[in-house]
Amino acid sequence: MNKAVFLDRDGVVNASVVRAGKPYPPANAEEMVLLPGVVEAVAKLRAAGYLCIVATNQPDIGRGTTPLATVQTIHDAIQSRAPMDAFYMCPHGGSEGCHCRKPEPGMLLDAAKAHQIDLHTSFMVGDRWRDIEAGQRAGVRTLFVDYGYDEKQPVGYDWRVNSLAEAADIILSLSQN
């Protein structure tokens, strides 16, 4: 069985665009900026045997405001600089009732099945309550990157961190025990 670190995209891997205290995805690949330390954190996690899997809600696709091709271009830009093992993406809005939109655990469970992942040895790193709740529902340990967004906050996460780099250090220290 494999172990994984599931990563939210916007706010964990790349910078969110924050407007009025709320985070939004970059509009295109040119606007996408990797956060400091992401390349190194992903490399260290992968070298330690963790699969790095992006699990991201992208409801603007379903709303028709962002083309799927634009999201794929952003994923390609991330992949070229911080290679991931897989990208899972939910294009649905909150009212569509799908199994994949976080806080539902569908993306994590689908990835676990496809990549033979042991969820009990895996982690979710996210910057919003939906990420943390999806991780909890999937049975992984959770790390909350706290930006102080003006929205509902997660409850019951395992660690509060300032970045993916800090999250990676915690994960790697635990794997040495």
pLDDT tens for 113-166 read: 999 999 999 999 999 999 999 999 999 999 999 998 888 999 999 999 999 999
Determine what percent of the chain is predicted with pLDDT higher than 90.
84
Number of H helices, E strands in the chain: 6, 8
How far the first Cα of the chain sits from its last, in Å, is 19
In a domain, 57, yes or no: yes
Among 8, 76, 110, 150, the one annotated catalytic:
8
Residue pair 125/6 in contact by the 8 Å Cβ criterion: yes
Among 10, 110, 127, 150, the one annotated catalytic:
10
Residue pair 128/154 in contact by the 8 Å Cβ criterion: yes
* Number of domains the chain contains: 1
Chain mean position to CA 60: 17
131 is catalytic: no
pTM, whole model, 2 decimals? 0.95
In a domain, 7, yes or no: no
CATH (domain of 72): 3.40.50.1000
Domain range for residue 36? 29-128+138-164
Q: CB count, 10 Å around CB of 44?
A: 16
What tens digit of pLDDT does each residue of 55-65 get? 999 999 988 88
In a domain, 116, yes or no: yes
Residue 145 forms beta bridges with which residues? Answer: 161
85 is catalytic: no
What is the band of 177 on the pLDDT scale with cuts at 50, 70, 90? low
In a domain, 4, yes or no: no
Amino acid making up residue 120? H
